[in-house]
């Protein structure tokens, strides 16, 4: 019986193993879950509770909540070592006692701050550096220092040229929001690479890398420290990083300083729009449906009334106005986009002569091209002049990118009289004072081949410097001015390497 029981049990097991299961219902889709960190091997006993923000911060867990505003985003990116000194306290007091000033500069920054933060994060740089234009220029892209540093990042002309910021008759990229931010962050990264410390990099940005390098070398030679607070610096640089630290502290905890920061949304303020034709700034603002002031605030590098597409192929417009501009630009059929063009002076000439050539009044030519009094326009200079209705071509790229206005001062002359010597002629007097015989003849109402009697009074108009150096020339009571040519160019020269910024 026992054998029969075992055999039956074996048969049942075999049949169970060979059985085909019934058709299954389609499986329900697995629930989609967000990836979570692996749990620890041992789970503590007791009920689970949600992780609070304090827990997340203490455990180094990334805060998954998006920034409430741009200020919050900036605070999250602080990476620089804090500077704690009496100078910082002094600067905190200065800023916090001027709430109107803080309000003005923070309101001004709302147009540019998002872009600066984006660029810093893209480069993995400390977001404290987004606050540097508050120290440099109060976020004013039109700011110009007494040392000719310009823009919200305050580039000197030579340093700007080194970092490929164009400075020509049409625009100054030291004021351009995109170009100057790119150059400033390039420069700061370069300086951080040189010194390995953000405080020293900032000191070099203000004082020049050569000056900081020499100050470090002096301290090393004397066995002294080489940190920012250890160096012997001019007062401006000594206060520079404390100013930034003070602004950082106020932005970090404005309630501690009774400061109110305006709401700046974590959203782009502007976007870039391609310009395919030369266009007047006034028309561009009208097609974008914004005021000329708002247009210039976003495009501060342009210092002429026309945008040249070959040199400035894009403009910045408020986010919601970019599409408005594109639609209106494509539909525009009221005539030319640009009423201005570029003209190159064929020779050195006076401003009145140039005005007559281009069909403008002298006052208008001076105003639109910013030509000061008593200056000559040198050959090859590029000026903005009216564009005729027949002119179809836009300004060429080599002119739009490199046009310069070169001026030469008109020398001041004084009316003088000299006594003619024995056998003196118009030609001999002209040679003696380096004048033309035609001029001497005209001033004295005689022929160019005429001779003077000994002791005769001869009228001359001589440059003042020549008059003071020539002992035989005597000034008369009456004086006037006459144009004369000189060759002193006033445009800056290109620097071979970054120069001191101040």
| Residue with the two structure tokens 């000194």 | 85
CB 466 within 8 A of CB 433: yes
Crossing angle (nearest 10°) for helices 240-252 and 198-207: 130
Neighbouring C-beta atoms of residue 41, cutoff 10 Å: 5
Residue among 295, 293, 341 at smallest CA distance from 169: 341
What pairing do the DSSP bridges indicate for beta strands 474-475 and 349-350?
Answer: unpaired
Known catalytic residue: 293?
Answer: no
CB 180 within 8 A of CB 165: yes
| Residue with the two structure tokens 């564009």 | 387
Sign of CA pseudo-dihedral 49, 51, 54, 56: positive
Sequence-ordered alpha helix ranges (H) in 60-196: 70-76, 86-96, 99-109, 113-122, 132-137, 157-162, 177-195
Strand locations in 206-365, DSSP E?
270-274, 279-280, 306-307, 314-318, 340-344, 349-350
Residue among 148, 130, 128, 126 at smallest CA distance from 139: 130
| DSSP string across 408-453 | EEPPPEEEEEEE--TT-BHHHHHHHTT--HHHHHHHHTS-TT-B--
As to burial, measured by CB atoms within 10 angstroms (0-12 exposed, 13-18 middle, 19+ buried), residue 369 is: buried
Query: Could you tell me the two tokens for 155?
Result: 């580039």
The one catalytic residue in 38, 107, 128, 136 is 136
Crossing angle (nearest 10°) for helices 198-207 and 209-221: 120
Would you name the residues annotated as active-site residues? Answer: 136
């Amino acid at each position: 019986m026992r054998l029969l029981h075992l055999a039956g049990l074996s048969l049942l097991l075999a049949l169970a193993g060979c059985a085909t299961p019934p058709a299954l219902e389609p499986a329900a889709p697995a629930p989609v879950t967000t990836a979570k960190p692996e749990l620890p091997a041992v789970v503590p006993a007791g009920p689970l509770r949600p992780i609070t923000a304090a827990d997340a911060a203490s455990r180094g867990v990334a805060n998954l909540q998006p920034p409430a505003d741009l200020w919050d985003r900036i605070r999250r990116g602080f990476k620089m070592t804090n500077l704690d000194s009496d100078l910082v306290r002094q600067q905190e007091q200065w800023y916090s006692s001027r709430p109107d000033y803080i309000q003005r500069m923070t309101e001004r920054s709302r147009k540019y701050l998002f872009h600066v933060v984006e660029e810093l994060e893209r480069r993995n740089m400390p977001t404290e550096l987004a606050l540097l234009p508050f120290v440099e220029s109060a976020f004013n892209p039109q700011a110009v220092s007494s040392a000719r540093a310009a823009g919200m990042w305050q580039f000197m002309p030579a340093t700007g040229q080194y970092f490929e910021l164009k400075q020509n008759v049409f625009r100054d990229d030291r004021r351009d929001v995109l170009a100057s931010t790119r150059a400033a962050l390039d420069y700061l990264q370069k300086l951080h690479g040189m010194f390995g410390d953000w405080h020293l990099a900032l000191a070099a940005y203000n004082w020049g890398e050569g000056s900081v390098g020499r100050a470090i070398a002096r301290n090393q030679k004397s066995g002294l420290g080489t940190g920012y607070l250890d160096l012997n610096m001019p007062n401006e640089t000594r206060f520079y990083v404390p100013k930034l630290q003070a602004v950082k502290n106020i932005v970090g905890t404005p309630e501690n300083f009774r400061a109110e920061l305006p709401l700046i949304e974590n959203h782009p303020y502007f976007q870039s729009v391609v310009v395919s034709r030369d266009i007047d700034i006034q028309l561009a603002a009208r097609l974008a449906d914004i005021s000329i002031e708002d247009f210039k605030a976003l495009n501060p590098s342009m210092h002429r009334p026309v945008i040249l597409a070959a040199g400035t192929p894009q403009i910045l417009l408020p986010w919601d106005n970019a599409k408005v501009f594109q639609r209106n630009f494509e539909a525009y059929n009221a005539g030319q986009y640009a009423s201005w063009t570029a003209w190159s002076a064929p020779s050195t000439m006076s401003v009145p002569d140039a005005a007559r050539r281009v069909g403008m009044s002298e006052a208008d030519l001076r105003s639109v091209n910013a030509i000061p009094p008593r200056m000559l326009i040198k050959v090859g200079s590029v000026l903005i002049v009216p564009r005729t209705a027949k002119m179809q071509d836009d300004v060429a790229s080599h002119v739009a990118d490199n046009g310069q206005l070169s001026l030469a001062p008109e020398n001041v002359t004084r009316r003088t009289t000299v006594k003619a010597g024995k056998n003196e002629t118009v030609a001999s007097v002209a040679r003696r004072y380096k004048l033309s015989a035609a001029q001497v003849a005209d001033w004295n109402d005689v022929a160019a081949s005429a001779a003077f009697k000994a002791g005769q009074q001869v009228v001359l108009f001589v440059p003042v410097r020549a008059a003071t150096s020539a002992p035989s020339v005597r000034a008369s009571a009456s004086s006037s001015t006459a144009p004369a040519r000189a060759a002193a160019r006033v445009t800056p020269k290109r620097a071979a390497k970054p120069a001191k910024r101040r």
